[in-house]
């Protein structure tokens, strides 16, 4: 499989929100590409 995946906007928002609630922090592209980081604890999750 190659290329960018797509989906319904509401579905993508829901998935992202669920990941963030679980402590995943999305990191914007900073020259090395976008990424994710796990929050140190749920109190720091966005």
Q: What is the per-residue pLDDT for 4?
A: 79
Is the pLDDT at 45 greater than 70, yes or no?
Answer: no
Q: What is the per-residue pLDDT for 17?
A: 96
pLDDT interval class at 46 (50, 70, 90): low
Is the pLDDT at 2 greater than 80, yes or no?
Answer: no
Please name the residue ranges forming H helices in the chain.
Answer: 9-21
Three-state DSSP state, 44: helix
Q: What is the per-residue pLDDT for 38?
A: 92
User: Average pLDDT of 2-20?
Assistant: 88
User: Average pLDDT of 39-43?
Assistant: 75
């Amino acid at each position: 499989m190659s290329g960018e995946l797509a989906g319904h906007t509401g579905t993508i928002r829901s998935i992202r929100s669920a990941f963030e609630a679980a402590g995943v922090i999305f990191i914007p592209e900073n020259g090395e590409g976008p990424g994710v980081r796990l929050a140190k604890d749920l109190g720091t999750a966005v």
